[in-house]
Amino acid sequence: MKRGIILLLLALAITALVITSCSQEPLSETELQKRAEDYALLVEALQSVGYTDGFRLRESRSMEDNLRRLWSREDSFADPRKNMELLILLGNFDFMAEGLQSRASKNNTSLREARFSDEEVLWLMLLLPDADLPEIHDGLPDVLAECGAAVLSSGNHCIWVYFEKTSPGLLERVHSSFYFGHNVPAGMAEVFRNASHDVQHQFMQTIDVEKVRQNLFRPTSILTYTEAQELLRDFPPTDPWEGGYIRVKDDEEKRWLSPREYENKSDVLVAVTSPANARFVVYEDYTQREFYATYVWDNSDRCLDVYLVVLHVRIVDLVTGEEILNESVPSDTPPDEISFASYYGIGLPRDGKHYRYDFTYDRYAAVMEVHLK
């Protein structure tokens, strides 16, 4: 019984295939020759942009059908830059328009319809201005700008664009994991850096600078004195944000702590990555040079010298060059008795109140905030 059903279904499938094939008109010799020429052109273009994989394309398919197969089915077709270079080399602006418009469509359910990725949109923004765009497609840049704005307004895409425009190469130096991670597509920052002013301006027009300022995911770090000196030389404060500050701290063990202690105490202050956006620089130096007392272990001749940690803070207004704070603040003194269990190398107990970072960051934040008024 089951075998009979299987044979029946197979027969129906073959019949449907025969009917479908018979209903399609055979291609003319002219069309067959055109498809062969298009296929050869596509293969040559794929090789020209750097693809070497043997894609499963067919000479009998139209150019558009082969392109849709590349976008929807070929795993090796995965380099956004090469994909856009391919379309520009082919001059296939109709396919570009389809790929862009499908992003805006909420009803994009067709597997045959090309849909560009975020990186493909950004690469097209960089590459299209150099293409010979025919007059019939003069509306394509406007559609591309709209798609680009949607891409750059999401995630961290807008951050690298802002810094590459205002401080080329900065992110690469201060936050390599951000720069070479998924936030900056490989090679794109360098191409953007070398692009024309008009292309860079197009990118900048689509981003929200205030969003860059407030974005909680923007890369931040605490710089060492040497790094700060170099960055201040290479990226002087040319566009200081109100309340923008960078934090300098020559303490390798703690240098990657969040620099937002001051932000948490203020509605104005904001940690910035680029010295070009900094109004203030906060220098912090922890020392252990202030002798406090000598403790003698119970039932032992061993002694323990205790030194207080001292935080030396210096805050400089980078715009005026004025030093608005310069002071040294010792940590709280330890209790009357100290035990071996509480000792951790510098002679201070780690128990709540008596802690290494028991300092009043709110007061330092207030100094900068008051200085802005």
Domains within the chain, CATH numbers bracketed: 31-149 (no CATH), 153-214 (no CATH), 225-372 (3.40.50)
pLDDT 10s digits, 123-150:
999 999 988 888 888 889 999 999 998 8
Identify which of 255, 254, 253 has the alpha carbon closest to the alpha carbon of residue 224: 255
Q: How far apart are CA 49 and CA 296, in angstroms?
A: 75
Phi and psi at residue 281, to the nearest 5° = -125, 130
Containing 296, the helix (H) or strand (E) segment is strand 280-296
Q: How far apart are CA 46 and CA 53, in angstroms?
A: 9
Question: What pairing do the DSSP bridges indicate for beta strands 303-317 and 323-330?
Answer: antiparallel
Identify which of 361, 360, 342, 337 has the alpha carbon closest to the alpha carbon of residue 352: 342
pLDDT 10s digits, 192-238:
999 999 999 989 988 888 888 877 677 777 888 888 999 999 999 99
**69 burial type by CB count under 10 A (0-12 exposed, 13-18 middle, 19+ buried):** middle
pLDDT of residue 154: 76
Helix boundaries (H) for the chain: 2-23, 29-48, 63-73, 80-90, 93-104, 118-127, 140-152, 157-166, 170-174, 176-179, 188-194, 197-205, 209-214, 225-234, 361-372
Residue 83 banded pLDDT, cuts 50, 70, 90: very high
**361 burial type by CB count under 10 A (0-12 exposed, 13-18 middle, 19+ buried):** middle
How many CB atoms are closer than 10 A to CB 228?
20
Ranges 2-11, 24-33, 64-73, 236-245: which has the least confidence: 2-11
Radius of gyration of the chain (CA): 32
Residue 200 carries which side chain, given as an amino acid letter? Answer: Q
Q: How far apart are CA 222 and CA 259, in angstroms?
A: 6
Q: Which two tokens stand for residue 154?
A: 């999401």
Residue 110 banded pLDDT, cuts 50, 70, 90: low
- Asked if 84 contacts 114 with a C-beta cutoff of 8 angstroms, the reply is no
Q: Is the pLDDT of residue 49 over 90?
A: yes
How far apart, in Å, do the first and last CA atoms of the chain sit? 90
Ranges 180-184, 244-248, 363-367: which has the least confidence: 180-184
Residue 343 banded pLDDT, cuts 50, 70, 90: very low
What percentage of the chain reaches a pLDDT higher than 70? 77
Q: Is the pLDDT of residue 342 over 50?
A: no
Q: How far apart are CA 365 and CA 268, in angstroms?
A: 9
Identify which of 102, 97, 128, 96 has the alpha carbon closest to the alpha carbon of residue 115: 102
Identify which of 215, 117, 115, 116 has the alpha carbon closest to the alpha carbon of residue 161: 215
Helix axes 93-104, 80-90, angle to 10 degrees: 130
Q: How far apart are CA 180 and CA 169, in angstroms?
A: 12
Q: Which residues contact 47 (CB under 8 A, 6 or more apart)?
A: none
